Structure 1
């Protein structure tokens, strides 16, 4: 496990991010870049982007300090920016969603706006200012764009009124059963929430981000621990930098064809040295996730997505999957594997 020590704060990044940037040899470049790309407001392009979205990815922290990631949907227009420092979110409370417990007034929250049909995305974190159980504002702390790497193209449609609750109850799992393992092993996309509390002003900072790869890029070990390769990216190390300082992590896997969500909260660790890194195509490092709580939510989303015929990210051609690595668990089956 990698631990940051004696890292001096510079620019806009926290100690965990700087530690990994230093390890990668890009700390000086990132110190300068951070001042330009990490904004405390929404630029016009992003203010116009959010109202187009039919869903939002959210990251929150419950009263016990557990990080949760979730997807919530509504008709386009449910997200809007009344001013450059605010994003308004029109979503009703959902007690079936474990992430909802962290969405109280005054709590830190993270959002990822992502269009799966265009590969556009924007990340934002800030503080909740609740108007009611149906509307809250996010006072922006940080907003920044992300590149389109590793995003698969999918087209969406609504299958029910987004205000209507799922007709099947949440299922707590004591461990990853066969169905849950199959969802993870076959996934080409998931989302991860993480957070730190060491900001200079003492405030919590939550992040939620996208991870994509070829089906089979997430390995489920016999002990239930997930192992995930970290591919070449923007070198910000927002997520892995959070892991360095705080292992509390939340994952969410969406079944794009059924609308089901598999939500997990637990602990993550960064692996910078391992023979498996060199043997996994495209991996620059690894991280492992140990689930502590698991929730399966059938039909949680009112959306369904259809994979495009040309939907695979071209960046996946340089990446592998655990079935191609000696000692892996075998390839996940898929009718549209790249």
Structure 2
């Protein structure tokens, strides 16, 4: 990457958690090696074959949102190593779209649930119209396949046609939203940090666990265990310097999306961490805006037989954690 001699590939929040984990020196070397400001050929080919993309963006109020958008293969393509072109029209029903204007920062996660492959990218939007946009690559890097459940997919309709269902704007989680969260083994989270050089860096990442690994408190606050990962701490590092976060849960059977924006808090010390099998830390999310969009996705996924991630065998559930705390 093009950076000054002493510049770090990581910002202060990421470094703080890397130091806490005792890996800061090693991760400085890793970051210099794997965080690129261009797309390698393997990643250019990978994005071209995707049927959906996870996006993270920030609206004018500074709130982070995450979403999933689907289209036929080829809607993502790379005309050169510094650019990823995105052929997706604007969607006013999607709150993430409000932060996808010319010059806005964006986070992207290319992921295949049927292969467990995934790649992360962040950069800046260059938009000349409403039919799509280019992203100038800021950082591009691969991710390991941990905690991804294997699912096969199919289109149930033309992805260019929008759903007839209206988006529901909620002041609190309704029963349907709670069901989506408590049954989920997967969700995606957007976060961001404003770097010392004035550039905004948006990230969107995958989270996986056993169904119910996201706990809903009586006050509507979500609590999520953080399992062993790649030690980059992109998401939680962002939370340390900026609490704004956006979550999206997808109902893989119906195509419904549940999108939430609010504030996150990293929990580094708590008895619940030791009691929850596999957790190395926790984080809590307080939603401020909630949007539920029935039928938003034209894709449906089928859980593959024996599709559980092997990494999940080393993790627990909140109901198990509760028994340990009370024992």
Question: Is residue 2:49 matched to residue 1:52?
Answer: yes
Partner of 1:310: 306
Partner of 2:293: 297
- 1:327: Cα distance to partner? 6.5
- 1:216: Cα distance to partner? 1.0
Alignment of 1:1-338 (within 5 A): 11-197=8-194, 199-326=195-322
Contact 1:11/1:32 (CA < 8 Å) preserved in 2?
no
Partner of 2:3: none
In structure 2, how many angstroms separate the alpha carbons of the residues matched to 1:327 and 1:317?
18
Paired residues, what number? 319
In structure 1, how many angstroms separate the alpha carbons of the residues matched to 2:111 and 2:23?
27
In structure 1, how many angstroms separate the alpha carbons of the residues matched to 2:196 and 2:272?
36
* Paired residue secondary structure (1:296): strand
- 1:178: Cα distance to partner? 1.4
In structure 2, how many angstroms separate the alpha carbons of the residues matched to 1:34 and 1:117?
28
Partner of 1:3: none
In structure 1, how many angstroms separate the alpha carbons of the residues matched to 2:175 and 2:318?
18
Over aligned residue pairs, what C-alpha RMSD do you find?
1.0
Contact 1:10/1:31 (CA < 8 Å) preserved in 2?
no
In structure 1, how many angstroms separate the alpha carbons of the residues matched to 2:111 and 2:128?
25
Q: Which blocks of at least 5 consecutive residues in structure 1 are unaligned?
A: 1-8, 329-338
Contact 1:103/1:128 (CA < 8 Å) preserved in 2?
yes
- 1:131: Cα distance to partner? 2.7
In structure 2, how many angstroms separate the alpha carbons of the residues matched to 1:67 and 1:147?
24
Q: Which runs of 4+ in 1 moved over 2 A?
A: none
* Paired residue secondary structure (1:48): helix
In structure 1, how many angstroms separate the alpha carbons of the residues matched to 2:322 and 2:301?
33
- 1:10: Cα distance to partner? 5.6
Contact 1:190/1:251 (CA < 8 Å) preserved in 2?
yes
- 1:235: Cα distance to partner? 0.2
Partner of 1:333: none
Q: Which blocks of at least 5 consecutive residues in structure 2 are unaligned?
A: 1-5
Q: Under a length normalisation based on structure 1, what TM-score does the superposition of the two structures give?
A: 0.93
- 1:11: Cα distance to partner? 2.4
- 1:321: Cα distance to partner? 1.0
